[in-house]
A and B are shown apart, each in its own frame.
Chain A
Amino acid sequence: MARNRRLSRHTLALIAALTQRPRAWHYGYELSRITELKSGTLYPILMRLCDRGSLESKWQPPTEEGRPPRHMYRLTAAGVAFAREALTGRRTAHGWTAPAGGYT
C-alpha cells in the first residue's frame, strides 16, 4: 500500500510543471530548468512518481546521428488526478504558488 506522505515543495513544483502540459512528454533537463531542481533532487522524485504509477517514461530514439537516446516523462491518467488533488489540497499548507504566468 502506498504511504500517504506529505509532499515536499520540490515534488509539488515538479508536479505543477508536469501538469502544465499533462499529456506531453518532458525531458529531464527541461524539467530541471523549469523547476530549477538539480538532477540529484529531480531524478529521485521522478523515480518515486514512476514507482507509484503517477508517471510513465519512455526512451526517445536519437533524432541526430551520434546523439544518445533521451528518457522522457509524462503523467499517467492516475498521475493527472493525483497531481490535481495534490496541488489543490497542499498548496495552502506549503504556502506554495505557481509563477504568475504558470509554467510554460
Chain B
Amino acid sequence: MDRARGRLHMSPRAKIRDRIARALVVHAARVAAPDHAEWISAIAHELEHLPSGEAALSWALGCVFVSYTGRLRVMIRSSADWPRWLKLLEMLLCLGPVTAYFVFVSVSTVQGYTLFIPAQGYTQVEEGLIFGSATLIGPVGLISAFRTLFSRTYGPGKLLTTLLWLLAAWALTAFVALLVYFRLGLVAWCGMLLPFALLPATAVAHLAWLGSIRRRAVRPA
C-alpha cells in the first residue's frame, strides 16, 4: 500500500514519522547544491510512493545524506579556487595552535619543566615524547602546507598524506587519553580536541585534497 492510500489508516506514530520524513526531504531540497537539485527532487518525489512509517523515514534520511554529501563535495571542490592568502590563513588557523604547543612541549622537555602532573609511571621525558609526537602534526603539516601553497607543482604525495593522517589520529588518541586520565569536563574536551585534533584533521583533509588535484594535474594523459 503506498503512502497516498495508506495515510488514512496510519497509526499516530507512523503519522509523526511521515511528518518528519517530509520535513527532512524539504530540508534536503533546500540544502542541495544546484547541480544536485534534480536528483534530490527525484529522491523526494519517490518518497510519495513508499509505504509510510519507518521505510519513509529511512528514505528521507538517505535523501538528506545525499544532499549534504553533494553540498560538501561542491564546497571542497570550490576550495581549490580560493586565493592563496585565504588557504594560508586556513592552514595557520588549523595548524598554528598545535605547532605552538609542539614548540612549548619541546622547550619544556629540554629544559626539564613538568608539562602536566606526571602521569603514573611516566617520566618528564616520556611525557614530553608522547605529547611532542602528538603535536608533531603541527610543524610537519605546516611545512607541507607552505610548500604546497608556495609551489606551482608540489603537492603532498600519498606517503606524506598517510603520515599526516597517522599523526592526526595519534594526536586525537593522545589527547583523548589525557582527557580521560584526568577526568576533565566538557569545556576541556572542546578546548583541547578542537585545536589539537579537529582543526589539524581539517587541514590534513584539505592538504590531501590539494595534493590529489596536483597529482592529477601532473599525471600524463
Q: Please list the residues of chain A having a beta carbon within 8 angstroms of any beta carbon in chain B.
A: 1, 27-29, 32, 38-44, 46-47, 57, 64, 66-71
Contacts and interface: CB of A to CB of B under 8 A. Distances in A.
7 contacts: A39-B43, A40-B61, A44-B69, A57-B42, A67-B4, A67-B49, A71-B46
Closest 8 CB pairs of A and B: A39-B62, A40-B62, A71-B42, A40-B65, A68-B45, A28-B46, A39-B59, A38-B62
B31 interface: no
B58 interface: yes
Interface in B168-213: none
Interface in B39-85: 39, 42-43, 45-46, 48-50, 58-59, 61-63, 65-66, 69
B48 A68 contact: yes
Contacts of B86: none
A47 B62 CA distance: 14
B58 A38 contact: yes
B117 interface: no
Contacts, number: 56
Interface of B: 4, 38-39, 42-43, 45-46, 48-50, 58-59, 61-63, 65-66, 69, 221
B39 A70 contact: no
Given A39-B58, A39-B63, A40-B62, A69 B69 contact: no
Q: Is the interface of B mostly helix, strand, loop or mixed?
A: helix
Nearest to B40: A43
Contact of A70 (B49, B59, B66): B49
A44 B73 CA distance: 12
Nearest to A73: B42
A69 B43 CA distance: 11
A69 to B, nearest CB: 6
B65 to A, nearest CB: 4
A22 B217 CA distance: 37
Contacts of B61: 40
A40 to B, nearest CB: 3
